[in-house]
Amino acid sequence: MSRIAAAFAAARDRGRAAFVPYLTVGDPSPEGTVRFARALVAAGADVLELGVPFSDPIADGPVLQRSAQRALRAGVRLRDVFEVARRIREESDVALLLFSYLNPLLRVGAGVAARAAKRAGIDGVLVTDMPPEEAEPLRRVFRAALLDTVFLVAPTSPPARMRRAARMSTGFLYVVSRAGTTGARRGLPAGLAPTIRRARRAAGGLPVAVGFGIASPAAAAAAARLADGVVVGSALVAAAERARGDPVAAMARLARSLSSACRKVGR
């Protein structure tokens, strides 16, 4: 069982959805990312998504775009992401998921990136702009390095695409809560429950996590009632971005409330 699969299984056994926070590596600095990661693990993170900063993040909303720009201006590249992952792994057994666009991986070579990710202690890879219909050659490269491969499905995904994405996923299947980019929203979309039911049918026994737009404990609790995992990115990055005092403390406060909200009703 991979570390990601084990994290979801352990969360289920504790009567909760897995809490999956996201960080852009290098925002505000590699050292700052390690401090944020430390705080998120202490707050209850089950899986930590490590975002590779990219200059054209088409799936990201304004908050994560700014985060990536800050990291790129600081000179952060893929090798720095792996170094940050290595430092986190030295301190923690938290499951680590590399969240990347395809271009940074292809620039160094998919096989080189996969092996470097594994050596750094990363457990899986999610490539946001890699459609499942075209992903089999790269999926084989990642799996050969013993990395989980996580694919995205959306409310607009037809059943055949959901089934294909689920077949190619290990660790969990990621359900995008709504069409569009990342970013905090006031609540969950009305049609999310049917989308997750469709994803569960496609996934079989594979855990299903939901993300994009989850910003508050109330939204996290609602998502936890539907899915096996709750992914939060923009809200956490925004909490640090607008903090007047310690950004690590600001992110940690929100993370603790989100993690607590992932408890299943009645547990």
- CATH number of domain containing 127: 3.20.20.70
**Exposure class string for 3-30: b at 16+ Cβ within 10 A, else e:** bbbebbeebeeeebbbbbbbbbbbbbbb
pLDDT of amino acid 187: 66
In a domain, 267, yes or no: no
In a domain, 266, yes or no: no
Dihedral sign for Cα 40, 114, 51, 219, please.
Answer: negative
**pLDDT tens, residue by residue, 239-250:** 999 998 899 999
In a domain, 265, yes or no: no
In a domain, 98, yes or no: yes
**pLDDT tens, residue by residue, 90-115:** 999 999 999 999 999 999 999 999 99
Provide, for the chain, the percentages of residues in helix, strand and coil under a 3-state DSSP scheme, each rounded to the nearest 5: 50, 15, 35
In a domain, 9, yes or no: yes
Domain that residue 81 falls in: 3-259
In a domain, 106, yes or no: yes
Distance CA 142, CA 40 (A): 26
How many domains are there within the chain? 1
Residues with a catalytic annotation lie at: 49, 60
Q: Per-residue pLDDT for 74 more than 70?
A: yes
pLDDT of amino acid 267: 45
Question: Residue 127 is encoded by which pair of tokens?
Answer: 């490539």
**pLDDT tens, residue by residue, 221-236:** 999 999 999 999 999 9
**pLDDT tens, residue by residue, 208-223:** 999 988 999 999 999 9
